[in-house]
Amino acid sequence: MGMIQFDREHQVFKIDTKNTSYVMGVVSGRYLAHIYYGKYIESTDLGYVLDLDSSSLQDAVFNEGEKVTLLDRLPFEYSFAGTGDFRQSCLAVTSSAGQQGVELVYDSYEIFKGKPGLDGLPATFGDNAETLEVTLRDEVLNIRVVLSYSVFADSDALMRSCRVFNDSTEDVYLDCALSACLELGGGEYQTVALHGSWARERHMERLPVGFGTYLVESRRGISSHQSHPFLALVSPDCTQEHGEAYAMNFVYSGNFFASARKDQFEGHRMVMGIHPDGFRWKLAAGDVFQAPEVVMVYSDAGLDRMTHIFHDLYRNHLIRQRWVYQKRPVLINNWEATYFDFDARKLLSIAKEAAGHGIEMLVMDDGWFGRRDRDDSSLGDWTVNEEKLGCSLKSLVEQVNALGLKFGIWLEPEMISPDSSLYREHPDWALQIQGREGGQARNQYVLDFSRPEALGYICQSVFQVLKSANIEYVKWDMNRPLTDAASTYLPKEQQGEVFHRHVLALYAFQERLLEEFPDLLLENCASGGARFDPGMLYYSPQIWCSDDTDAIERLKIQEGTALIYPLSAIGAHVSDCPNHIVGRNTPFATRSAVAMAGTFGYELDITKISEKEKGQIASQVKTYQENIDLIQQGDYYRIASYQRNNLYDCYEIVSKDQTKAVVVFVQVLAEANMHNRLIRLRGLKPEAVYQAGGNCYRGDALMQAGLPLKRLRGDFQAEVISLVERK
């Protein structure tokens, strides 16, 4: 029997993974209702869960005179607006007559092997998958909604998306087209979400769900610093190791909407998709709209298990296989070393010093093109400033390569400076509202990527630069939100498509980039971590986590990020002190220990740091490279959270075969007159003996009694401990 089945007798669909079951059914031959999501169960006879015999629903199920009562109470698999369901809708449509209202009824289904891609959108991929497509129809509007559910044999995640078809002869407008809806019954839940701002992204927050709506959103045109396209409902007793968690993560990089609502009957509805604010899609007769993918995860073993499901799914089925498990170069980036004040001589001095300490790549950041000596000019003019560099780009790269280093470059293709040749020639290529002066941020406008000639020109310009020299890495930046989201190219009835069309064009651009340069290592960035999401992860195996490189600030940022994303995706560097964001001084070794929970690199002027610090770099690089398989493939455990205890932080990575582990402990604040700590580890073999330094411990002792750690003297101290099973 496959992973997906349909029980014709009970009109029930059941989707199974190794440890979970997802069940929905057709009510009265008409409506598709959610029945169950949770731990694996055998039975498909679950109609009783809907409680249709209750006094509140019994009359409504078979009585057209109580239709609104039914629509407002059924746990819909995909909710719709305007006809009686007053909770959050997934689909809202305006007809050609200007009227709003949808009623989706069950039509048909198909179960097949494999998982199709999503047209123009990033999505999970892989073999040994099964997909269920359920078709719903509005018989008045003559539109179809095809709900897609996919599972992989090696994962407990469930992937959902939907397509909306206009089978009528008239245009309609989609005012809301979310991707997924999950109904949970009564009981108490808490939300887990990630919030923040520039330089303090993805801090975890946990709140009880009361009556009303809890909302996580971005209307900035990007997934944003302030919110994150992730939402989980967890049981009040949920910890890292125990309790239930229901999570959604959006494979998309633009405006998003995720809400959890507790209704009048104490049921809970969680939805996720493209934000309806600023969205109105003209669906012409015969056209189809593809909504992005949502990844759903259920865990009955706490947040650790949820994290492992996300990490394994994204490593095996989202990140391009070219780079997912390949060792990536340890790089040094010149941004915090020089900002805009550099030339080839300065870059080569950094490269020469770096090469002598085991660093493998030099990345030239912002300031190499046009007349870019400050942040107020030249975006869009992607031509090398040879006068500033003192040589051609090809010559610079050849000199860096001769030192044994690879070479990478910074780009910001989505932007245009008012002070640029491109803007002077094509002012209509910027997003703009007619009659209004455009709003600048970081002295720049956003290019109108819905305009084909603008997108084509920038693609050609960027590709020309990348072909001119041996460039093996690109840092793709995006330093402002989208405002004035109107296009001089699109007709008035399609102005509500600008936000989404920008994201689609971004994806098309990066797809073309990787097709043209298949061996290129791409790292996405957006003022730091403002676009750290699964959509970007599909194109780039690593994403810059935050512009805040302070080791202590990074503890909270990286904890929240690693809740969902594998460590191999988290851009993390050792930077200068005092830190350029918060002014804090931390030991060089501590900065290295924190950066190990990511891609690891350096963001400083290596020619100016002390000889003592230079002397530590080679051993830091060696330690990272010795643990690269663990970092890229191992299971991550959150042992202690500085965000919660305000004193120390600890995480552990365990190899899949449980023969190796590394523990990173960071003491933020020292305490007087305290005993040594015992840190209880997880994920080890109970019967195995592990060597840590000169001591040996049984796995069960480490997990139950703990690993002894001597008190570190002073604030901001770190210790990295390797454990290896003794044979």
Q: What average pLDDT is seen over the chain?
A: 96
pLDDT digits (tens, 9 = 90+) for 442-484: 999 999 999 999 999 999 999 999 999 999 999 999 999 999 9
| Contact criterion met (CB below 8 Å) for 501 and 434 | no
| Contact criterion met (CB below 8 Å) for 216 and 227 | yes
Catalytic pick among 130, 613, 635, 649: 613
* pLDDT at position 61: 52
Q: What is the mean pLDDT of residues 122-141?
A: 98
Check the CA dihedral 105-111-112-117 and report its sign. positive
Q: Assign domain 343-634 to its CATH architecture.
A: Alpha-Beta Barrel (3.20)
Confidence of residue 612 (pLDDT cuts 50, 70, 90): very high
Q: Is 533 considered catalytic here? A: yes
Helices (H), 269-359: 302-317, 335-338, 344-355
pLDDT digits (tens, 9 = 90+) for 580-607: 999 999 999 999 999 999 999 999 999 9
Q: What is the mean pLDDT of residues 162-180?
A: 98
Stated as kind and residue range, the H or E segment containing 654 is: strand 648-654
**Nearest residue to 302 via CA among 361, 370, 234:** 234
Per residue, the 3-state secondary structure of 551-562, as one string, reads HHHHHHHHHHHH
Cα distance between residue 565 and residue 318, in whole Å: 11
* pLDDT at position 50: 77
Phi, psi of 157 (to 5 degrees): -85, 155
Coil, helix or strand for 706? coil
Catalytic pick among 533, 547, 548, 649: 533
Strand pairing class (203-208; 293-299): unpaired
* pLDDT at position 55: 46
Strand pairing class (129-138; 12-16): unpaired
The secondary structure of residue 95, as a DSSP letter, is -
Q: What is the mean pLDDT of residues 349-357?
A: 98
Cα distance between residue 149 and residue 37, in whole Å: 13
First to last CA, the chain: 40
* pLDDT at position 674: 84
pLDDT digits (tens, 9 = 90+) for 274-320: 999 999 999 999 999 999 999 999 999 999 999 999 999 999 999 99
Q: What is the mean pLDDT of residues 509-529?
A: 98
The secondary structure of residue 56, as a DSSP letter, is T
pLDDT > 70 fraction of the chain, expressed in percent and rounded: 98
Token code pair at residue 216: 């996580």
Strand pairing class (91-94; 172-184): antiparallel
The CATH code belonging to domain 4-317 is: 2.70.98.60
| Contact criterion met (CB below 8 Å) for 139 and 69 | no
Phi, psi of 408 (to 5 degrees): -130, 165
Q: What is the mean pLDDT of residues 385-409?
A: 99
Per-domain residue ranges of the chain = 4-317, 343-634, 637-725
Token code pair at residue 142: 């003559």
| Contact criterion met (CB below 8 Å) for 642 and 668 | yes
Segments of 188-244 assigned E as strands? 190-195, 203-208, 212-218, 230-234
| Contact criterion met (CB below 8 Å) for 260 and 183 | no
Crossing angle, helix 393-402 and helix 344-355, to 10 degrees?
20
Q: Is 576 considered catalytic here? A: no
Q: For residue 116, say if its preceding peptide bond is cis, omega within 30 degrees of 0.
A: no
Q: Which amino acid is at 497?
A: E
* Fold (CATH) for 637-725: Immunoglobulin-like (2.60.40)
Please determine, for residue 707, whether its predicted confidence score (pLDDT) is greater than 90: yes
Cα distance between residue 244 and residue 207, in whole Å: 15
**Nearest residue to 317 via CA among 150, 193, 181:** 150
* pLDDT at position 313: 99
Coil, helix or strand for 189? coil
* pLDDT at position 574: 98
Helices (H), 627-707: 628-633, 642-645, 699-704
Please determine, for residue 83, whether its predicted confidence score (pLDDT) is greater than 70: yes
Cα distance between residue 77 and residue 50, in whole Å: 12
pLDDT digits (tens, 9 = 90+) for 221-241: 999 999 999 999 999 999 999
**Nearest residue to 282 via CA among 494, 502, 500:** 494
Instruction: Count the Cβ atoms, other than its own, within 10 Å of residue 47.
Output: 18
pLDDT digits (tens, 9 = 90+) for 20-33: 999 999 998 899 99
